[in-house]
Chain A
Amino acid sequence: MVQNQKTPSQHNSTLFISPMINSRRQNLFVTPPNPAAQTLFDSPGSNRSSFFNLERGNVNDDTTSNSNIPPAAEPLTPAEKLRLWRHDALMQHQYKTAEFIGDKVLALTDDPNDAFWLAQVYFNSGNYLRAKSLLTSKPEFEKSVSCRYLAAYCLIKLELWDEALDLVGESNPFRKDDKYQVRSTDGGIKLEASICYLRGLIYANQNNFEKAKESYKEAILVDVKCYEAFTELISNNLMTPREEWDFITTLNYRDADDNDELIKLLYTSRLSKYLNVSKLYEAEHILTEEYDLGDNCDILLSKADYLYVQCNFDECLSICEQILRKDQYNFDIIPNYLSCLHELGGKNKLFLKAHQLAENHPTNPMTWLAIGTYYLSISKIAEARKFFSKATLLNPNFGQAWIGFAHTFAAEGEHEQAISAYAFAARLFPGTHLPNLFLGMQHLQMNNLNLSEEYLAASYQICNSDPLLLNELGVINFHKNNFAKAEMFFQEALGAAKYLNSDSKTWISIHANLGHVYRRGNQPNKALQCFNQVLKISNKNDSNILAAIGLINLKLGNYFKAIDVLHDALAISPSDPVASDLLRRALESNKNNGNSFIRSNGEKLLELNLPTLQYRQKQSRKDGSLQGQQTVVSAQNSKFMTPLTNKTRILRKGSGVLQPIEKDTDDTHEAFYIAHELKKGNESSDEDDEAIMDIESD
């Protein structure tokens, strides 16, 4: 307690100046029994706070503020009583009372702390302007750190960023005074940290993300309890995964007292899931085992995030639903939930959730994100765009909504607009690789290989373990004809995908692309292996893959197989020009290959069927009624062998279809469709990417 007086006020929290500061030694959080067992005042129970326990008023010191709370033995001063009254009214959200009494107390004492509390009342009732003008009305108020803090907050609420920045200063003024860490004594959040947080908030809104990041980091360094700053840092991905992990080790958890271990673990569980999976797992394990927090929403959320990054959407969805069952209105989980539903095609649930949100929280941007996602998943792009843009209007810093907004353009192939929207998201989320990845993908689609590679490289700097990113890098190298490098990237991507334990679309498109690389690299058997893998895993039959298999078989001379596969491809997408061209060629080759068919197949089959043939001949010789059998055969002909050939309509134009179009060199032709195909392959991978990104963005 003695130290209190020495500590500069920025090391205190507002607990310090609250009227009850010294009365909460032991039993603060115990709600007092309603009719008092032991009365302090004349009228029992009537003037006692329902929130704070007064009987414990063991006040024995003067704090820096002059809130002289007398020792319990002494009766309270009138001002003191009014303060309690004001405070209780505030706690019970009876703002008129609080305002009325607070005003009177302030008038009586003219104390900055009383001004602070009155301003609190105004602030709580949403009257930021009034709070701010009160707090800046007198110079002595402005001197108080707490008053300054609240005034700055009011300005932030009023979106007067420059004024707010003036008030809190461009950098932390206290940093130079004391390098040493002072523990706040009261267990609250140091005002210094809070002010740093406000500074970060202001910078973030001024789009000065570098400074915002520094301010937030400073806030947490000053007081680890400033979770607000921490969550801003993490949820906006202001740091790269590695930075995050480095940062968390530099924090000073002493401020959290006995809870330091717990806080460390909890913070750890929030970190990026791209790195140090074992540590995450360990943290989660300890939290579950020792603190019995396994069912806590935040732990579950961390688990959901992890599953999400692994692309394990089913599990992730079930965790999300578990959280929502416990806490229907949990907003933190909603982005994950929406993404999973979008990914898994849960349109109906998306619809329901979007409606629930719209009913209960019409002003929350998350609501409009949900609605946008719903429209996106039923492919109503225009509507989706409208709602994503509404979400960004409500919160201009809502990165997910920006990405969704960009996706709507990308889905319609409007690359320029998509790029500008992604670029905006990239500024909002400097710490994630996703926006850069999207930008790279858009440029890739526009065939700006160099630009695309730059973006992808930037993305690779941030996160080098994302299979999607590696996949895109592979595609770029493929386009540049660097097959060795492309193969390397795809292999790496496969490694990453395997590590992430996913069997999703990502995995499939990587395999398919790897197959294309092998195909171009003249390793047909390896390529076939890859494509067959894809077909084995793939949920939908992809005509592009089938066409590629057809092409390889055609090259290898397996015409029958090629024709078969190409037919399958055309059955899936009847208008695929590549497949039909390949089919034409395959049939053409089959025609020229007729001799070998007759020789090899004919002989082999006859041999296989020899016993039957012999048997039949024996039989026919035996009964010798050849004639009878013949009539039956011709009768059968009438049904099963309708003699269509006789009625052939003479349509000469048809022959044009089958004629080889021109005799250009096979190579150039092939190059054409390989390019064509690859483009398609690429597109399909992009689509996959987008779907997944989408989720991440959400």
Chain B
Amino acid sequence: MSSEKPDQVETLRRDLLKACNTLSNVNLFQAAKWCAEALNGLPEPKPETADLQPEMLILDEDALLDQNKYLLAKAYFNCKEFDRAAHILKNCKTGDALFLRLYSILISVDKRATEETDGSINIGSDVVDDMNNRLSKIIQESENYLTKSKPNSFLYYLNGVIYNKKKKYALAQSNLYNSLKLFPYNWSAWQELISSLITFEEAINFITKVKAAKSSLSSSIMFQFFEVVVLQEFYQQSSSLFDSLNHLITIFPSFTFLKVQQFLISYHSLDYFQAESTFDQILVDDPLRLDDLDTYSNMLYVMEKRSKLSFLAQFASMIDKFRPETCCIIANYHSMRSEHEKAIMYYKRALTLNKNCLSAWTLMGHEFVELKNSHAAIESYRRAVDTNPKDFRAWYGLGQAYEVLDMHLYALYYYQRATNLQPLDKRMWQALGNCYEKIDKLEEAVKSFEKALTINSAEPHICYRLALISEKLGDVKETYKYMKLCFEQELDWGVNDETSKARLWLARNSLESRRFEEAYELAKDLSHSNAHDIEEARSIAREARNRMSKN
């Protein structure tokens, strides 16, 4: 568009190339992958500018000294001998070497914890203690280095990762922020940063803070990515979000990541048809991509596209059977066929492959609910909110499970958490209202249901509930108002149980207040209800007619 744009793209290309090399040099594979994908997502370079030489990493004195050992350690690391890699780097001086060493230790600790807990469900406290112990040591060492020597972006990143694991989110944020200030192209760090932001408020505050600081970071293209993903993850939709997303897409026309963001945004706004077509396009561009395919399969499940989901399951298991995404897809497939045990088995497999697989815990919880195993469901949901406290479905599921167990106080708390995450979802407010009603907090219940009504157009059953509660509270006026409102929904929603009941109530009410005509009108058309109600309606109609004729 603008004249400077090609120039900007070229700078970006160079930066990304360099960043990619740096990231692979410290074995941050996922971040390197992201960077390389972004690099390839840029428009094709013009031939005359294509002579970009990859800049060699410039080594300082210490790095040269460490180089041989560093290479050896990297080789060990790549051969998955993490402890050995860490051992080799014992006396190295550079920050990168220290990072690789601590990173190897981290991976080895994690690996051991996974192996010793064999699988996903049980975690012995010994193992956790031991793990925490070693994590603290890693942090100590890296913080020592950072205070004594020059700052290193990757060490900050590592600190952030560990603090996230320990749920010290404020510390994690400051470390990650430091890391990104030094080296913004580390997408893994951005991701950790996103996962350390628990509430939307917090996220917004963080973004405004960074913007206010006016560092180079806030103007960097990576920050735009960050903002888009944050808004997406907190289920936000606004024109500014679409603007920035479109802006990014013009810069990176063929970057799958951005398309996935588009898909997720449509998915979150329940615009499934749009979402589906977006993802179909992604699959055409990059057919063997498994990332985010599990989310796609969730959507297909909800859309009840059975054949497509079956195809997807087959297809994914052909690409790689042992990816957590594949397992989730297969589990969804089994769930769709009501084979819940099998679905659970696959979710478990997914979790064994990656215990932080975000959606698997929640979905497994749903399966347990299907099997009426509330305790197992609670356990799953709990793990889900433990790994990702932003998952409102898991909070909601917890609320439901506790409701089944008649533990309404617990349910209330979990619904509140869910509502905090999804204040725009009327189901949350409805559940909250139910809960308040159960524990005899009728006023709060009314308020919750009213909130639900304000979010969307009035739904008859909410109106009906409100009317019933008002009746309990003895507030005739309110009751009448809501009954009326409920009855009026017949136009939009057609005749159903709630509207019929409202109609009956209104008829009865009119009869009592001697408005016989109205009563007759209301009662005579009642046809959709149980026999008893219809009988009553008839008698009301009869009586109203009698009275009318008498008058």
Measured CB to CB, the residues of A under 8 A from B are 345, 503, 535-541, 560, 563, 571-572, 584, 587-588, 590-591, 594-595, 597-599, 601-602, 604-606, 608-609, 611-616, 619, 626, 629, 632-633, 635-642, 644-645, 647-649, 651-652, 654-655, 657-658
Contacts and interface: CB of A to CB of B under 8 A. Distances in A.
- What 10 A-B pairs come out closest when comparing CB atoms? A605-B423, A654-B406, A611-B238, A587-B409, A594-B444, A539-B133, A540-B129, A539-B132, A636-B302, A612-B237
Nearest to A637: B427
A570 B420 CA distance: 23
B270 A633 contact: yes
Given A536-B168, A616-B237, A644 B403 contact: yes
B409 A608 contact: no
Given A540-B133, A645-B434, A658-B407, 18 more contacts: A503-B140, A539-B129, A540-B128, A540-B129, A571-B382, A587-B409, A587-B410, A587-B412, A594-B441, A597-B416, A598-B451, A605-B200, A605-B423, A609-B236, A609-B424, A613-B424, A642-B370, A644-B404
A648 B132 contact: no
A395 B351 CA distance: 56
B301 interface: yes
B443 A595 contact: yes
B301 A641 contact: no
A595 B447 contact: yes
Contacts of A595: 443-444, 447
A654 B136 CA distance: 42
Interface residues of B, number: 64
Contact of B400 (A345, A590, A644): A644
A590 B412 contact: yes
A612 B382 contact: no
A584 B382 CA distance: 18
Contacts of A598: 432, 444, 447-448, 451
B303 A590 contact: no
B513 interface: no
Contact of A601 (B420, B427, B436): B420
B334 to A, nearest CB: 13
15 contacts: A535-B168, A539-B132, A540-B125, A563-B413, A590-B412, A605-B419, A605-B420, A614-B238, A619-B237, A632-B272, A635-B304, A640-B366, A640-B396, A644-B400, A645-B403
Interface string B389-424: 000010010001101111111101100110110011
A541 B413 contact: no
A421 B207 CA distance: 63
Nearest to B441: A594
B238 A629 contact: no
B201 interface: yes
A639 B366 contact: yes
B40 to A, nearest CB: 32
B132 A641 contact: no
Contacts of B236: 609, 611-612
A413 B399 CA distance: 42
A648 B412 contact: no
A615 B387 CA distance: 31
A598 B237 CA distance: 23
Contacts of B424: 606, 609, 612-613, 616
Interface string B450-469: 01000101000000000000
A657 B140 CA distance: 44
Interface in B349-394: 366, 369-370, 382, 386, 393
A612 B238 contact: yes
Interface in B286-312: 301-304
A54 B434 CA distance: 108
B257 interface: no
A629 to B, nearest CB: 6
Contacts of A538: 132
A591 B415 CA distance: 12
B240 interface: yes
Report whether over half of chain B's contact residues are helix, strand or loop; otherwise say mixed: helix
A606 B201 CA distance: 11
B551 interface: no
A598 B446 CA distance: 11
Contacts of B401: 644
A645 B400 contact: yes
Contacts of B171: 536
A654 B407 contact: yes
B145 interface: no
A503 B412 CA distance: 41
B132 A609 contact: no
A487 to B, nearest CB: 26
B239 interface: yes
Contact of B237 (A594, A604, A615, A629): A615
B204 A608 contact: yes
A616 B269 contact: yes
A629 B275 CA distance: 13
Contacts of A638: 302
A648 to B, nearest CB: 6
Contacts of B128: 540-541
B221 interface: no
Contacts of A619: 237, 269
A561 to B, nearest CB: 12
B283 interface: no
Nearest to B440: A591
A613 B132 CA distance: 42
Contacts of B132: 538-541
A648 B382 CA distance: 21
B171 to A, nearest CB: 8
A599 B444 CA distance: 10
Contacts of A587: 409-410, 412-413
A639 to B, nearest CB: 5
A612 B303 contact: no
B200 A609 contact: yes
Interface string B121-144: 000010011101100100010000
A572 B125 contact: yes
Given A612-B235, A636-B302, A591 B441 contact: yes
A553 B465 CA distance: 35
Contacts of A632: 270, 272, 302-303
A540 B406 CA distance: 33
A658 B408 contact: yes
B270 A608 contact: no
Contact of B406 (A629, A637, A648): A648
Contacts of B345: none
B270 A537 contact: no
B302 A635 contact: yes
Nearest to A650: B406
A609 B203 CA distance: 13
A590 B386 CA distance: 21
B179 to A, nearest CB: 19
Contacts of A645: 400, 403-404, 434
A642 B400 contact: yes
B335 to A, nearest CB: 8
B237 to A, nearest CB: 5
A652 B408 CA distance: 12
B273 to A, nearest CB: 9
B432 to A, nearest CB: 8
Contacts of B416: 560, 590, 597, 601
B393 A640 contact: yes
A250 B75 CA distance: 62
A584 B409 CA distance: 9
B405 A654 contact: yes
B439 interface: yes
A615 B432 CA distance: 25
Contacts of B270: 629, 632-633, 636
A71 B183 CA distance: 87
A598 B442 CA distance: 13
Nearest to A623: B271
B239 A615 contact: yes
Contact of B409 (A539, A609, A648, A658): A658
B447 A539 contact: no
